[in-house]
Structure 1
Amino acid sequence: MPTTLDLYRPGVAAGLDAQAMHRAATTPDYFGWLAHTSAAGGCTRPIRLTGTLTTVDPTTGRVLHDRHTDDLPDRTLYKACGNRRAAQCPDCAWVYAGDAFQVVRCGLSGGKGVPASVARHPIVFATFTAPSFGTVHHRHIPSHTCRDRRRCDCRPAPCHARRTAATCRHGRPAACFARHDTDDQQLGQPLCLDCYDHDHQVVWNHFSGELWRRTKQAIERHLAALCRRRGIRPVRTVGSTGRVRTVPPVRVAHGKVAEMQRRGAVHFHVLLRLDGVDPDDRAALVPPPAGITVDDLAAAVHTAARQITATAPPHRDRPEGWLVAWGTQTDVRRLDSTTEITGRSVAGYLAKYATKSTEITGHCSTRLTPDTVGDYADPDGNHLARLIDACWRLGRPIHNATNTDTASSEHRQDAVDSGYAGLRQWAHMLGFGGHFLTKARRYSVTFGQLRDTRAAYRRTEEDSADTVTVGTLSFAGSGWLTEGDALLANTAAIRRRECRRAGRQELDAQLAGAAA
């Protein structure tokens, strides 16, 4: 089945005209079919469901109407796939990016149940990078002279310039004098594949979530100690069970997005907001004490990034484990009226990366199996093939012993390699098994709340707010029935999406003009 973009290529589109005309000519209620498929319009591979739809009066519980999907067009119910990856389904990813934008923005400026007072809390935008696992080709601009970084045309510096023509221990050049373009395929590739530590990188990806958890705890401990030194007293709160607890007067709420770099290592963009604690209502979002500023929050982030490390569990290939620590480049920026970056721009930036995955590395596949891993993993292949091979090799299972004498040894080996089983499960993600957008519970609104609000709005638009539809449905397949159906449904959806996008741009322009 071609993708949405493939449908408009001349060679493909010519073969779809007959299917599209057949649908429009033979369907008794063609516009009814378009309305029926509008819920999944624009989706690359919609889910087809079959079963019974029951309309119920929520007040009395009385069944008002029963309807089977056999009575619907195509004898099925269409539902959008909901894939967040823009490379897999652009339309569903566009919806997900809008929700991600709201999740991030509400934590910065309030709205949708979050008080607007959070905009006055100290907030920093930090970027945590992975350490170096070997020298790679990169593009570096020492000083920008352009006015707009999004359209930067500054000349980059040489990749890895050296005064002497040095070589690595494998005899390959250790210098590169090229000035790489932004779309250069060499970017992120090691200068020497044999010198690069692929095992360490996939292990770092796999345990980076644990490193972030410890870093977040260190930031909160640093701020709590700072409060004690400055004489800010802890807060006594009463839990739901009536138990009295003494907690620090400040806490940190975060929203985090993971971005995959060209070399295949993840780094994190994190918004950290400093909140206070209300002794009467711990769920309330109140400002922190006056004695703690945004500079203190930034200092706590820098301190934690320098000091916090973790050690991966022992592995049979490396009994001492691997060191998991942040790279040397930790960028921390304040978000307030004195800086050029705004909460809206940061929210848009993070929402964009929430729909991406490993596409920038050149690899994009579903979960690998023993039957398919051979197509991607190669210990002597290119950079990506070696990363996938490292995931599969380090996550290999241990076979059970065949006799009693070796059973205890095998049991010890199984305990030694605990924690690495997930590497095979996430080999298609180069070892990273975390979600690309996460947040603290108190940071902002949730995706579920946004989906519920959207569903309630649709029921109101359809004049069905007084009834509830209960579906007893089962999976019938995925994808459109014909490529012509995909062309017709997606064309209408793309037009609606472009109209909404143009309306949003016009509204933003009016708001910017009013502010000016």
Structure 2
Amino acid sequence: MEQVGHCAHPIRVTGCSDTIDATTGVVLASYSSGSEPDGITYLRCGNRRRAVCPSCSFQYQGDVFHLIMAGAAGGSKDVPASVVTHPLVFATLTAPSFGLVHAAKKPGRSGGRRCRPRSGDGRKVCPHGRPRWCMAVHQHTDPLVGDPLCVDCYDYHAQLVWQWWAPELWRRFTITLRRQLARHLGISEAACRRRVRVQFAKVAEFQRRGLVHFHALIRLDGPPTATEDYPPPRIGFGADTLAELVETAAGMVSCEAAPVDAQDVPRLLRFGRQVDARPVHDQADRDHPEQGGGLHPETVSAYVAKYATKAAADVLDGTGSAGRHLVQLRQVLGRLVVRATIAGLTGADGPYKGWGRWVDMLGFRGHFATKSRRYSTTLGRLRQVRRDYTRRRHLDRQRAGDDSAAGWADRDDQDQAEPTTLVIGSWRFAGIGWLTTGDAALAAASAARARDD
């Protein structure tokens, strides 16, 4: 179990492999799953979702933290420490409102904590006779949080269509932000690219109402050179101006969504009005909170990485049962998929191609964690470093006479063979998960103890 990091649903394979010297043809090492208990080799599932595999998602979240932290603070993962002086903004782009929902308000903020107090405009009830107010103070665990005040007034169709096109809105936002930079500098876009480049790392978070919003770290660099991959931008403004440009760009972005069928209408989709963009300051500003505004690279990196392992299942309430609003969303999305299929819009070239595959994600089809090419390192490099470390550690154990480390070293040689060697193997998929419920329970308990330590 230690060999797969106490994974909850490991992949079972059977077979063997030989590491051969490509020059002499001598077999340097051999490994067979027959040498393992039950004759099976286990591999990590690598699932990033916490609800599926706590162990693999914990590792994934750590990788995302280091990836984001390297680009925010520098000084690690081949990113120079000087990157911390570049303009950096933490931005949150929300979805628009599709109807009034119950809300849990945090204490300490301006205004009362009541859900939706009575307004003075005299509009006491909705067209369906239901109240437009709620005087309760909801806790964040309250199943009502996120549910509409009136299910008949709530625009479920528009929400699900927006969810499908949210990745396109983000793509257009990045384009618009680059254009706003050029406009602010008073130069062409081509000339702007010779002075400044936009780098970002973004994750998507599911809200209790079943909608995603985006958290992103947006940084400005100069164009890379032969000697420097992360040069400072050649501009005359800092993070405060960048935050203003981010908010302006988010307000300008729009996307016209295709109708679901002949009875539907096109929709002009936008981000919500609650766009937040705040500068992130370096470690030195910890001594001057009035300048740093409480946002520092470590804080925002941990906050962004936290949502990299969450999915639609994580908006379920504490009992594990979906709220009424989420059940309704899935039902409406199922009906919309049928309508779009009948209209031929889910075909190979249709605007809603593959919609039915994303019902469990409430229609969101985007990646939960994305970054620009030169924001920082990559997940692949981080995993390679971990494999190198694991291989060296167990080779040392093997040289010290620890026979339990032999299998580790042989398997790692498959991925870390020298250029002069050739790995020839034959493997067959045997299933997913532990063979017995006892092994699964033991893996879960071991993973929990490892996290606590």
Which interval holds the TM-score relative to the shorter structure?
0.7 to 0.9
Deviations 1:294-323 (A, max 9, x none): 222112111111111111123325554122
Tell me which of 77, 88, 99 is aligned to 2:41.
77
Alignment of 1:20-419 (within 5 A): 37-57=1-21, 62-110=26-74, 111-141=76-106, 143-144=108-109, 156-163=113-120, 166-228=124-186, 234=191, 247-278=193-224, 280-281=225-226, 284-317=229-262, 319-336=264-281, 337=285, 338-339=291-292, 340-362=294-316, 382-396=324-338, 418-419=350-351
Measure the CA separation in 1 of the matches of 2:202 and 2:333: 25
Question: Does the alignment pair 1:473 with 2:427?
Answer: yes
Name the Cα RMSD after superposition.
3.1
Measure the CA separation in 2 of the matches of 1:391 and 1:283: 49
- Describe the SS at the equivalent of 2:204: strand
Q: Report how far residue 424 of structure 1 moved.
A: 1.1
Tell me which of 453, 464, 483 is aligned to 2:437.
483
Deviations 1:108-165 (A, max 9, x none): 12221222211110000010000000000012357449xxxxxxxx972343424557
Deviations 1:307-366 (A, max 9, x none): 1111112332555412210111011110113212211111111111111111343289xx
Measure the CA separation in 1 of the matches of 2:210 and 2:441: 35
Measure the CA separation in 1 of the matches of 2:25 and 2:279: 53
Measure the CA separation in 1 of the matches of 2:381 and 2:328: 41
CA contact 2:141–2:317 (8 Å) conserved in 1 = no
Aligned residue identity for 2:312: T
- Identify if the C-alpha distance between structure 1 residues 282 and 310 changes in structure 2 by more than 3 Å, giving closer, same or farther: farther
CA contact 1:84–1:92 (8 Å) conserved in 2 = yes
- Identify if the C-alpha distance between structure 1 residues 54 and 363 changes in structure 2 by more than 3 Å, giving closer, same or farther: farther
Q: Report how far residue 233 of structure 1 moved.
A: 9.6
CA contact 1:233–1:249 (8 Å) conserved in 2 = no
Deviations 1:392-413 (A, max 9, x none): 232337779xxxxxxxxx78x7
Aligned residue identity for 1:167: V
Measure the CA separation in 2 of the matches of 1:436 and 1:222: 26
Measure the CA separation in 1 of the matches of 2:85 and 2:382: 24
- Identify if the C-alpha distance between structure 1 residues 73 and 66 changes in structure 2 by more than 3 Å, giving closer, same or farther: same
Measure the CA separation in 1 of the matches of 2:128 and 2:202: 39
Measure the CA separation in 2 of the matches of 1:41 and 1:176: 47
Measure the CA separation in 1 of the matches of 2:424 and 2:270: 50
- Describe the SS at the equivalent of 2:154: coil
Deviations 1:258-313 (A, max 9, x none): 000000010000100011124x4498211011413222211211111111111112
CA contact 2:346–2:352 (8 Å) conserved in 1 = no
- Identify if the C-alpha distance between structure 1 residues 131 and 233 changes in structure 2 by more than 3 Å, giving closer, same or farther: closer
CA contact 1:313–1:321 (8 Å) conserved in 2 = yes
- Identify if the C-alpha distance between structure 1 residues 472 and 414 changes in structure 2 by more than 3 Å, giving closer, same or farther: closer
Aligned residue identity for 2:449: R
Query: 2:391 matched to which residue of 1?
Result: 459
Q: Report how far residue 475 of structure 1 moved.
A: 1.3
Aligned residue identity for 2:114: A
Measure the CA separation in 1 of the matches of 2:264 and 2:448: 54
Aligned residue identity for 1:193: V
Q: Report how far residue 66 of structure 1 moved.
A: 3.2
Query: 2:406 matched to which residue of 1?
Result: none
Q: Report how far residue 256 of structure 1 moved.
A: 0.3
Measure the CA separation in 2 of the matches of 1:102 and 1:264: 28
- Identify if the C-alpha distance between structure 1 residues 226 and 318 changes in structure 2 by more than 3 Å, giving closer, same or farther: farther
Aligned residue identity for 1:429: M
Q: Report how far residue 90 of structure 1 moved.
A: 1.1
Deviations 1:85-108 (A, max 9, x none): 111211111101100101110111
Tell me the TM-score normalized by structure 1.
Answer: 0.74
Aligned residue identity for 1:269: H
CA contact 1:121–1:287 (8 Å) conserved in 2 = yes
Measure the CA separation in 2 of the matches of 1:193 and 1:481: 45
Measure the CA separation in 2 of the matches of 1:319 and 1:181: 37
Q: Report how far residue 383 of structure 1 moved.
A: 1.9
CA contact 1:49–1:77 (8 Å) conserved in 2 = yes
Measure the CA separation in 2 of the matches of 1:232 and 1:321: 31
Measure the CA separation in 2 of the matches of 1:395 and 1:421: 10
Q: Report how far residue 486 of structure 1 moved.
A: 2.6
Number of residue-to-residue matches in the alignment: 418
Measure the CA separation in 1 of the matches of 2:58 and 2:426: 29
- Structure number with larger C-alpha Rg: 1
Amino-acid identity (%): 41
CA contact 1:141–1:157 (8 Å) conserved in 2 = no
CA contact 2:8–2:443 (8 Å) conserved in 1 = no
- Describe the SS at the equivalent of 2:157: helix
Measure the CA separation in 2 of the matches of 1:59 and 1:397: 62
Q: Report how far residue 428 of structure 1 moved.
A: 0.7
Measure the CA separation in 2 of the matches of 1:347 and 1:471: 40
Shifted more, 39-48 versus 346-355: the winner is: 39-48
Aligned residue identity for 2:383: R
CA contact 1:99–1:450 (8 Å) conserved in 2 = yes
Q: Report how far residue 51 of structure 1 moved.
A: 0.9
Tell me the TM-score normalized by structure 2.
Answer: 0.84
Measure the CA separation in 2 of the matches of 1:347 and 1:54: 42
Measure the CA separation in 2 of the matches of 1:60 and 1:441: 41
CA contact 2:102–2:145 (8 Å) conserved in 1 = yes
- Describe the SS at the equivalent of 1:196: coil
Measure the CA separation in 1 of the matches of 2:348 and 2:14: 48
